[in-house]
Structure 1
């Protein structure tokens, strides 16, 4: 995997990777940015959420769970001093569907977090992870 950022102006950059997609990066006005893009640490949190979400939904589909909506929220806590690294991450899995088996969701999350998600595996040992699973029955 290769990735790069190209400077636009101020603290604004355009990031890209092998996939060919791009993302705008910037910083808050208070620290010299122009508030025109995602913050790099936001991308880290999105990467965690996306990685585990793809695993979990794939596993739930293989388990023939009738998922009608799925969302993963990541709340990251950062150290107060520089380099202000991420110290804690809570991942909330919100699954909506018909007759969803809670054990199937728990197992899918466990497999993602312990075996498949490379973003979590990369940060394991450096970050404290916690999880929350919320199930909602879909409206008929």
Structure 2
């Protein structure tokens, strides 16, 4: 897997992936940016959210669970001093579907957060990661 990040101007950059997709990132105005794109550290959180969502949905489909909506809500804390790494990350999974089995959802979430989601496991080397889920009716 390879990516390219190109500086455009000020603090705006464009990231391009091997799969042919691109995303604009920018810094806040107090750092010379124009707030025209997502922040790079936000991208890390979105990356783990996407990674774990794909894992959980894939696992639940294999378990014949009918999911209608799924949301991974991620909150985090960062160190106050440089490097301002993530120190705490919490993921709340909000799931809605038909006759979802609590044990199967729990297993799918745990498999993703403890085994399959590489991005989450990498960040877990420096941050305390917790998670929970709620099945909505």
Q: TM-score by structure 1 length?
A: 0.94
Q: Which runs of 4+ in 1 moved over 6 A?
A: none
Distance 1:115 1:47 in 2: 16
| 2:76–2:89 contact (8 Å) kept in structure 1 | yes
Question: In structure 1, what is the equivalent of residue 85 of structure 2?
Answer: 85
Corresponding residue pairs, total: 137
Question: In structure 2, what is the equivalent of residue 29 of structure 1?
Answer: 29
Counting only pairs closer than 5 Å after superposition, residues 110-121 of structure 1 correspond to structure 2 as 110-121=110-121
- Residue deviations 1:26-49 (CA, integer Å, cap 9, x gap): 011122111011100000000000
Following superposition, the deviation at residue 99 of structure 1 comes to 1.2
Question: In structure 2, what is the equivalent of residue 57 of structure 1?
Answer: 57
Distance 2:127 2:88 in 1: 5
Distance 2:125 2:85 in 1: 13
Question: In structure 2, what is the equivalent of residue 74 of structure 1?
Answer: 74
Following superposition, the deviation at residue 124 of structure 1 comes to 2.2
Question: In structure 2, what is the equivalent of residue 122 of structure 1?
Answer: 122
Distance 1:79 1:15 in 2: 25
Any unmatched runs of 5+ in structure 1?
A: none
- Residue deviations 1:1-27 (CA, integer Å, cap 9, x gap): 111111110000111111110000101
RMSD of aligned alpha carbons = 0.9
Distance 2:14 2:66 in 1: 38
Distance 2:69 2:50 in 1: 15
- Give the SS at the match of 1:82: coil
Distance 1:17 1:98 in 2: 36
Question: In structure 1, what is the equivalent of residue 40 of structure 2?
Answer: 40
Q: TM-score by structure 2 length?
A: 0.96
Following superposition, the deviation at residue 76 of structure 1 comes to 1.5
